[in-house]
Amino acid sequence: MGKRVGMEVGIAAAEAVALCNIDVAAVYPITPQSHIAEHLADIVHDGRINAEFITVESEHSSISACAGASAAGARVYTATSSQGLMLMHEILPIVSAMRLPVVMGNANRAISGPLNIWNDHTDIMPQRDCGWICMFAENGQEVIDMTIQSFKIAEHPDVMLPIVLNIDGFQLTHMIEPMEFPSQAQVNRFLPPRKPFVALHPDNPISMGCFNMPDIFTESMKAKETALRNSKKIIVKIWNEWGKLFGRHYRPVETYKAKGAKTLILTMGSMGETASVAVDEMRKKGASVGLVKMRLWRPLPIEELRAAIKGAKTLIVMDRAISFGGAGGPVATDIKSYLFQDKSRPRIVNYIMGLGGRDVTVDDFIAMTKKAAKKKEDTFEFYGVRE
C-alpha cells in the first residue's frame, strides 16, 4: 500500500488517470474547469504517460473526439463541468448508444443563468437520461479509486458504456486531502490495456453509427436500457474485487448508522461527509438518525436503496438540483416513483438546497432534520432561502 500524500483532489484525479495509462484525452477549458485537465497536460507533456492530449476548441468537440478515439480502440478520458457538460449534451446519448467506454470526470457546478460556477448538481441532472453510468464520489480517496475502477467497468465486455464520475466542484475538486495511491504495478494488474470488442481499423472494416428506421429504433433503445441495468452486476463485482485488493469497499448505496434509524438523511456526493458529522451530533442527543449515501445514480440501485431504508419512518432526500415546475428534486422524484407501490415506506421529505455553492453546514442538516420531523406527509421545499 502506498503512503498517504496530501494533494488537491483535482490533481489526484489526473494522477489516477495517468495510472490508468490512457491513450487519448480531449479537454476544453469552458468556464469553469478544474485542475484535472491542466495537470493531465503536465503529465503528458512531461512524457510520464504515452498518450495523445487533444486541446479541442469546445466541449462539443471534446466529447466528439473522445467518441472517435474510443471507437478506434483507445482508452479515453475527458474532464468537464457545468456549461461544458451542457454543450456535450447532444453527443452523450450517441456515445452510450454506440457503446463507447469513455470515462469522464465531471466537476459538478451550477449551470447558467445566472452565471454562477459554484458547486451543485444542476449540470449532471439534465444528462440523467443519456444512458451513461453515473456515479458520485464523496472524498478524494474515492475520486482516485473510482476513477481507476471506472475504466475497468466501462471497458468490461458485458458493460461497454461510458461513465461519468461526479466530483463536487470546489467542495471536492479544489480541496487538499490526505490520500493513498495504488502503485503502478497494482493498477497494471487490476487494469490491463483495453482490448476492444471491435475498433475502427482497415483490417476489419466495420460501420459504426448507422441510423435506425422506426422498425428497429425501439429495439436499440431497449438494448441500451438493458445494458445500463445489467451493468450494476459488473460494477458491484469490480468494486468487490477492488475491496479485496485494497481494503476499501464500495457499494451502490452506502450507509452510516442507518440500521434501525427512524429518520434517514439521503445524500449524493461530498455532502455525505458533513451529513455524517450531523448524524453523530444528533445521535449524541439521542435522536434516531442515520445516513444513506447513493454512490450509483444511474443505473439507480433501487434494491440496495430499499434494503438501506427498511423500517425508517422519514427519509430526507437532499437534492442539489430541481426539476422546475415538476415534482421536486430529481433524486427524490425518482425514489418516490419507485416506492409509490410499496406497502410500507417512509415519508419522503425533499429539500432543495446547496445550490450554486451555497454552503450546507452540520447545523443546516440538523435544522432540516428537525423541520422534517414535523412534516405529516411527503413534501418538497427549498431550504435556506433568504426572504
Whole-number minimum distance, CB 265 to another protein, in Å?
41
Q: Is 210 in the site for another protein (CB under 8 A)?
A: yes
Q: Is-contact 20 191, C-beta < 8 A?
A: yes
- To another protein, the closest distance from the beta carbon of 79 in angstroms equals 16
CA angle 168, 239, 35 (to 5 degrees): 30
Size of the site for another protein (CB under 8 A): 47
Site membership for another protein, residue 227 (CB under 8 A): no
Report the residue from 24, 43, 111, 282 that binds another protein according to the rule CB under 8 A.
Answer: 24
Q: Does 160 bind another protein (CB under 8 A)?
A: no
Q: Is 223 in the site for another protein (CB under 8 A)?
A: no
Q: Order of strands, edge to edge, in the sheet holding 253-256?
A: 253-256, 289-294, 263-267, 314-319, 347-352, 379-382
Torsion of CA 110, 114, 116, 120, to 10 degrees: -20
Residue 202 interacts with another protein (CB under 8 A)? yes
CB of 203 to another protein, least distance (A): 7
Q: Strand, helix or coil at 310?
A: coil
For the bound state, the minimum distance from the C-beta of residue 316 to another protein, rounded and expressed in Å, comes to 41
Q: How far is the CB of 33 from another protein (least distance, A)?
A: 17
Say whether residue 46 binds another protein (CB under 8 A). no
For residue 304, which amino acid is it? Answer: E
Contact between 69 and another protein by CB under 8 A: the answer reads: yes
- Is residue 266 within 8 A of residue 331, CB to CB? The reply is yes
CA distances from 219 to 160, 216, 226, 232 (A): 18, 5, 10, 21
CA distance 177 to 38: 19
Q: Is residue 157 near another protein by the rule CB under 8 A?
A: no
Window 179 to 198, contacts with another protein (CB under 8 A) = 193
Interface residues with another protein (CB under 8 A) are 23-24, 26, 50-52, 54-58, 60-62, 64-74, 76, 90-91, 94, 98, 193, 199-213, 216
